[in-house]
Amino acid sequence: MLIRPVESDEDIRKAYEIETAVFSQEAAASLEAFQMRKHVFGSYFLVAENEQDHQIIGVTNSVKIHNKELTDESIKQETEHAEDGQYLCVLTIAVHPSFQRRGIATELLQRIIEIARKDDLIGIVLMCEEHLISFYEKNGFLYVAPSVSKHAGIQWHEMNLIWK
C-alpha cells in the first residue's frame, strides 16, 4: 500500500466516494468541501492506494487550527484553516468498506501524526463517533469529553494527542 498526497481531480472524486460510503449523507463532507480541502491544505490530504491496481482505498484530510477546542465550524472546515495554526484537526479518516480492518486507517493516522510532528505542531485534535474511541486510544489519543457538536445529529467525542 502506498500513502500519498491527493494529486488530481480523479483522486478527489475517488476519495469522496469513500467518504460517502463510510459516513451518512448528513455527516459526510461534500465533494465541494473535498475540492476546497485539496486546494487550501493539500499537504494534509492523503490517500491510501492499493499498489497492485492503483485503486484508492482510504483517505484522510486535516487542517491546521489555532485552538485545541473544536467547533462545528472547524470540523466542517468552512474558513478556519490557519497556516500558522499549532494544532492539526483531523477531519476525515475513511477506508473503503471492502478494505476495512486491515490496518489501513492506522497507517493513515500514523502518517498524519508523522507529518504533524515534522511540521513542529503541538498536537492533533479530532472528533469521532463513540465506536471509534478505542481505535484512537490504541493510537495514543486521549479522550477529552463529549463534544458540544451535534453535526448530522450525531454525538461526537473529542480526542487529542498532544506532545508538546
Predicted confidence (pLDDT) per residue in 123-158, tens digit:
999 989 899 999 999 999 999 988 776 666 667 899
Q: How far is CA 28 from CA 68, 105, 130, 136, in A?
A: 22, 17, 17, 20
- Classify burial at 62, counting beta carbons within 10 Å of its beta carbon; exposed 0-12, middle 13-18, buried 19 or more: buried
What pLDDT digit, counting tens, does each position of 18-77 carry?
A: 999 998 777 788 888 888 878 777 789 999 999 899 999 999 999 888 878 776 555 544
What pLDDT digit, counting tens, does each position of 5-34 carry?
A: 999 999 999 999 999 999 877 778 888 888
CB 99 within 8 A of CB 57: yes
By residue range, what is the domain housing residue 135? 2-162
pLDDT band at 79 (very low <50, low <70, confident <90, very high): very low
* CATH value at residue 17: 3.40.630.30
**pTM for the predicted model, two decimal places:** 0.88
Dist. CA 83–CA 101, nearest whole Å: 34
What pLDDT digit, counting tens, does each position of 92-119 carry?
A: 999 999 999 999 999 999 999 999 999 9
CB 159 within 8 A of CB 141: yes
Output the nine-digit C-alpha cell for 58: 482510504
**How many domains does the structure of the chain reveal?**
1
- pLDDT attached to residue 78: 44
- pLDDT attached to residue 5: 95
- pLDDT attached to residue 28: 81
